[in-house]
Structure 1
Amino acid sequence: MKWMGRYAGYNGSSFRKDMLSGLIVGIIAIPLGMAFAIASGVKPEYGLYTTVIAGILISLLGGSKFQIGGPTGAFIPILFAIVMQYGYENLLIAGIMAGVMLVLMGLFKLGALIKFIPRPVTIGFTAGIAVIIFSGQIANFLGLHGIEKHEDFWSNMKEIGTHISTVNIYSLLTAGSCLAVILLVPRFAPKVPASLVGLILSTVVAALFFEGQVTTIGSSFGAISSSLPQFHVPEITWERIVNLLQPAFVIAMLGGIESLLSAVVADGMTGSRHNSNRELIGQGIANMVTPLFGGIPATGAIARTATNIKSGAVSPLSGVIHGVVVLLVIVLFAPYASHIPLASMAPVLMMVAWNMSERRSFMHVMKTKTSDSLVLLITFLLTVFTSLTTAVEVGLIMAVLLFVKRMSEMLKVAKVLPDPNHKHEKVMDYMVREGHDCPQINLYTIEGPLFFGAADRFEKSVMDAIQRRPGILLLRMGKVPFMDTTGESNLAHVVKHMERFRGTVLLSGIQAQPLEMLKKTGLIERISPDHMFEHTGEAINYALTHLDDQKCKGCKHFAFRECAALASAGTDSEHMIKLKSGKRVEANSPINPLKIDETM
């Protein structure tokens, strides 16, 4: 039977592929779910509950066919800080609030906006999170005693330095054996989940040779229950909602970014297309429901999604199966997980941090030595030494300001005149020089966006010409792709100054968006549609017919090729009469109207 939508063409073969990929991803997700929960400061079973509930809901309701949802490393510093400051119960409320925000973002179709976050910002905070995760596992790797956890990086590093003398050789051997397995298994058996094998083998080694010598999940958090998660609605008050608005917003933004990045990766691997807004709604519903069963915030997991695709997934059913697999493991094997040493979990998280660090992209951007490098570095340092919220806010503000600066530098305002030696008499700035510049017609080429960051430069450049009171100001705007209200205001200011001494403003080649802006503000009527031309040549011809004849007499500038005739012609000259009437003269006439190619 063929199913509609994302299940079109689904058959028995497709189901078998989804079963296999779901099984593989489910096995991989088990140690990660526990590790992420522990690193976030909550019990390991809460990570497993999240993997089950959020994983199933995200696959069913999300906008990507192959997305695998669950707890991720990116959330660790955020969730740990919330648990430290507000407590576990408030973390659940913040998760629900974040879910509501994600749903609203999806309903208001804001999915596309999240994609506009600059790449240096995402690389910076991702690399910073990786450093926090990695450094946070040093104490467990070494088996240090008496460690007190803090929210900030420096305090945690000081704790490690203070207690470095308490290194437990047995924890070190356990962690080392797990790390060795994680590094070696992919080389010899790439399809085998290395982290799970490393956990099992290192746990067996610790149980056989170091029993009672290393800290385990059970000794730190108590036995992991094999019962199903219980439904519980946390006590939600208005005061709690107000206090948790900021952390909830951070969870929502990070969850939205991570899930859409993961969906984009899936699209690239499969050639499919995800629905950004549906993905946000699916993520939101999952995060609203999961905390009701004790789970922590979840999002799309890039590594697990990639594994799902590589394992042959065909539909969202593979994500559902992955959640069911984890559920079965909880029911059948949860008590055994209590014996896993924390030293065995440390290498798993360290490898997650290493893989998510985007070290190659980080170095690639840094090597460019551009403003993007600065944004990346600042975002990275602020993530590590302050908070993700501060890092993203500052990173975005810096990126916007530097972008505005770069865009403003793109605007070029040049005074130009036609080059008679060019085939199409192309207008060039080098033609304007002392003794060769029309006193009555000022011709400017404007190139680049005319917006708030550059409009002032435009006005200053043109106002210098206006001070000399030319009769006509011709602005070539064929290379102005965009104009905002600030740019329009500056142009209006120029028009106003020209009107004071009865000057005329002509525009040529104006593009669709700037033209629409002038229509909306009414400036087009003030300039007059008759003073707007498609080609510069037409505008120059118009300008030449509206010169002050008396000022042309005896002029030695000869800025245009008509000038020689105009300078010597009388007001009753046959040539002048024809020029004033707009009639074209013979091709061999010295006053043949210009035909400037606008594309030049």
Structure 2
Amino acid sequence: MNNSGKPLEKSRYFDMSNIKGDVFGGLTAGIVALPLALAFGEASGAGPIAGLWGAIFVGFFAALFGGTGSQVSGPTGPMVVVFAGLYAALGGNPSLVFAAVILAGFMQILLGITRFGQYVKLVPYPVISGFMSGIGVIIIALQLARLFGHEPDGGGTIPAFTAVPEAVMNPNLIAVAIAALTLVIVFTWPKRLASFIPGPLAALFIGTLASVFLPGAPILGDIPTGFPSFVVPTVELDSALVVIEAAFILAVLGSIDSLLTSLVADNMTRTRHQSNRELIGQGIGNSIAGFFGAIPGAGATMRTVINIRSGGSTRISGMIHALVLLAIIVSLGPFASQIPHAVLAGILVKVGYDTLDLSYLKRAHKGPRWDLALMALVLFLTVFVDLITAVAVGVILAALGFVKTLADDQLAALLQRLPRHSSEEEVELLEQSDGKVMLFDFGGPLSFGAAADLGHHVRGQTGHGAEILILDFSRVPFLDVSAATAVETILEDAEDSKKTVFLSGMNEKVSNLINKFCNCDNTDLVKQYETRIDALKSATQLVSADHKAEPITA
């Protein structure tokens, strides 16, 4: 549907109107993806060729079946971090490791079918910023020892950090020199040259050539070529929990990563992606990748941006990106075997740096401290615990923080002496009552956070001077049990202190719930009015009739 409510014309599945731009965009994205796929494959533990096949399978099928035309998919930092941990935990057993990848793909398809995509936008930005920055820290940490020609002992962030002192004390100087050269290239490559040859690709060629003329740094060695063999997935009882947990993390993380990239693509192309179809496409790509021993992937932000800027706009560009890598892989073996580990480590350090949300970190001190603390907590949990715990804790705390802020605002508005949007007549009537009539305006749905303390605050506000309390529900479309319980508390307190309560402006749904849920023994103390002006007029007349009398009980 468009903004006018009219249905959009059904477009062709393969839109050939931008074929020239799609070809150039896919070609450029494929060239950029080459060094990244090799680096991610090496970092995952499955080998650089697994990274290339991951880029091919996920890139092709996610584009073919996905819902974001300009998106380019393949191995990404967050997915590789999780996959590397799984690979280490299962001892590199292909049938178990890739069973998790296949299961993750099936889970993504299920998430798309159940329309999970619409909920990703509910994840607060500080949580997204925290876990993305945490991923960046992990990627960098895992490469630190490799920059000095060493390998970290075991997987995970802590072993990666503990391996650094030994690597620094006993460096491979040639590897250090090649790593330094790579870092200089990827961080300082001129933008005017990047349109012809991307910085990571230049670093890959220059660093490898330097290694050929200056041997001594650890290199990848022989890389198998040809079509990958079929992997038969198996799940053993003692490892089933690890496989299922890893699959779930890969599925959720890959879905979030892909849909965030889809939002970036939407902003650049002024289009709107189909989130649920995108999840199905990503799931198909990952499940096929798992059957052929390729590492999983997701929508890749940098490659998508490069594709769009190079002219790509439809699914054809993502498919061409994969076909370019397939053409390269046929003749890649002899060259790839000479690539030093230090070159790929340097490229991944730049990837990790780009993953850090530096834009938010530079401005975080200007925003709410709670958001900064939440982001820092999620970052810490991502690096030192795990991603799911980090995101789950972050979302829960963000929700509780929002409810607390909303509750404070609702209570502050409710307890004002003169409620917001009061008319001149209502103000005059309240002034005439000389504090014996108090009006409480529920400005909208009452959150459970505000409802918890509502009775206490109303009790403290009314004191001994008020004789009639008016609870106005004119702008309340519905109540939940928490709010109904709070209203019941107010009615019970009023009954104990012999105060009269006027309920005004209730719609049928709210009235039915209060009448059924709230138990008040003395119903003579509770009266209902259609509008709050009617309630105010009646209350003012009652207190004016005998202002010296005891609290009204009629």
Pairwise TM-score range, normalised by the shorter structure: 0.7 to 0.9
**How do 1:129-140 residues align onto structure 2 when only pairs under 5 Å count?**
129-140=135-146
- The equivalent residue for 1:354 is 353
Unaligned segments of structure 2, at least 5 residues: 1-8
Take 2:62 and 2:298, find their aligned partners in 1: how far apart are those partners?
8
Take 1:380 and 1:165, find their aligned partners in 2: how far apart are those partners?
29
- The equivalent residue for 2:4 is none
- The equivalent residue for 1:225 is 224
Residue aligned with 1:443, SS: strand
Matched-pair identity in %: 31
- C-alpha spacing 1:458/1:181, structure 2 compared with 1 (3 Å): same
Shift of 1:167: 1.1
Shift of 1:109: 1.1
Residue aligned with 2:40, SS: helix
Residue aligned with 2:360, SS: helix
Take 1:187 and 1:238, find their aligned partners in 2: how far apart are those partners?
52
- The equivalent residue for 2:44 is 40
Structure showing greater relative contact order (alpha-carbon pairs closer than 8 Å, 6 or more residues apart): 2
Q: C-alpha deviations, 1:492-517, integer Å up to 9, x for none? A: 3333555678865333456x7xx645
Among residues 210, 215, 218, which one is paired with 2:218 in the alignment? 215
Take 2:70 and 2:423, find their aligned partners in 1: how far apart are those partners?
59
| Residues 1:203 and 2:211 are matched in the alignment | no
Does structure 2 retain, via aligned residues, the 8 Å contact 1:484–1:517?
Answer: no
| Residues 1:489 and 2:485 are matched in the alignment | yes
Q: C-alpha deviations, 1:426-484, integer Å up to 9, x for none? A: 5499969xx9321xx43223456522211122111234578859664211345667743
Take 1:478 and 1:343, find their aligned partners in 2: how far apart are those partners?
68
Does structure 1 retain, via aligned residues, the 8 Å contact 2:145–2:152?
Answer: no
Does structure 2 retain, via aligned residues, the 8 Å contact 1:29–1:304?
Answer: yes
Instruction: Give the alignment's TM-score, normalised by structure 1.
Output: 0.81
- The equivalent residue for 1:445 is 441
- The equivalent residue for 1:122 is 128
Among residues 168, 171, 174, which one is paired with 1:167 in the alignment? 171
- C-alpha spacing 1:548/1:173, structure 2 compared with 1 (3 Å): closer
Shift of 1:321: 0.6
Q: C-alpha deviations, 1:205-225, integer Å up to 9, x for none? A: 1102x12x011111xxxx112
Residue aligned with 1:233, SS: coil
Does structure 2 retain, via aligned residues, the 8 Å contact 1:415–1:429?
Answer: no
What's the RMSD between the two structures over aligned residues?
A: 3.3
Take 1:280 and 1:310, find their aligned partners in 2: how far apart are those partners?
24
- The equivalent residue for 1:375 is 374
- C-alpha spacing 1:104/1:70, structure 2 compared with 1 (3 Å): same
Shift of 1:526: 8.4
Residue aligned with 2:469, SS: strand
Take 2:189 and 2:546, find their aligned partners in 1: how far apart are those partners?
88
**How do 1:31-70 residues align onto structure 2 when only pairs under 5 Å count?**
31-70=35-74
Q: C-alpha deviations, 1:33-68, integer Å up to 9, x for none? A: 111111122211111111111111110111111111
- The equivalent residue for 2:6 is none
- C-alpha spacing 1:522/1:258, structure 2 compared with 1 (3 Å): farther
| Residues 1:543 and 2:543 are matched in the alignment | no
Among residues 80, 84, 108, which one is paired with 2:84 in the alignment? 80
Instruction: Give the alignment's TM-score, normalised by structure 2.
Output: 0.87
Residue aligned with 2:225, SS: coil
Amino acid at match of 2:261: S
Amino acid at match of 2:357: E
Residue aligned with 1:474, SS: strand
Does structure 2 retain, via aligned residues, the 8 Å contact 1:416–1:431?
Answer: no
Greater Rg, structure 1 or structure 2? 1
Shift of 1:85: 1.1
Take 2:453 and 2:427, find their aligned partners in 1: how far apart are those partners?
21
Among residues 167, 187, 198, which one is paired with 1:193 in the alignment? 198
| Residues 1:552 and 2:546 are matched in the alignment | yes
Q: C-alpha deviations, 1:261-291, integer Å up to 9, x for none? A: 0000000001100111111111112222110
Name the stretch that deviates more: 262-271 or 382-391.
382-391
Residue aligned with 2:502, SS: strand
Shift of 1:177: 2.3
- C-alpha spacing 1:124/1:424, structure 2 compared with 1 (3 Å): same
Does structure 1 retain, via aligned residues, the 8 Å contact 2:478–2:509?
Answer: no
Does structure 2 retain, via aligned residues, the 8 Å contact 1:199–1:344?
Answer: yes
- The equivalent residue for 1:295 is 294
Does structure 2 retain, via aligned residues, the 8 Å contact 1:102–1:252?
Answer: yes
Unaligned segments of structure 1, at least 5 residues: 558-579, 581-600
Shift of 1:200: 0.7
- The equivalent residue for 1:414 is 415
Take 1:312 and 1:428, find their aligned partners in 2: how far apart are those partners?
66
Among residues 75, 82, 88, which one is paired with 1:71 in the alignment? 75
Shift of 1:372: 0.6
Take 1:296 and 1:472, find their aligned partners in 2: how far apart are those partners?
69
Does structure 2 retain, via aligned residues, the 8 Å contact 1:416–1:430?
Answer: no
Take 1:389 and 1:428, find their aligned partners in 2: how far apart are those partners?
57
- The equivalent residue for 1:507 is 503
Residue aligned with 1:475, SS: strand
Name the stretch that deviates more: 393-402 or 272-281.
393-402
- The equivalent residue for 1:436 is 434
- The equivalent residue for 1:105 is 111
- C-alpha spacing 1:63/1:521, structure 2 compared with 1 (3 Å): farther
- The equivalent residue for 1:454 is 450
Shift of 1:162: 2.4
Q: C-alpha deviations, 1:127-147, integer Å up to 9, x for none? A: 111111112212222223xx4
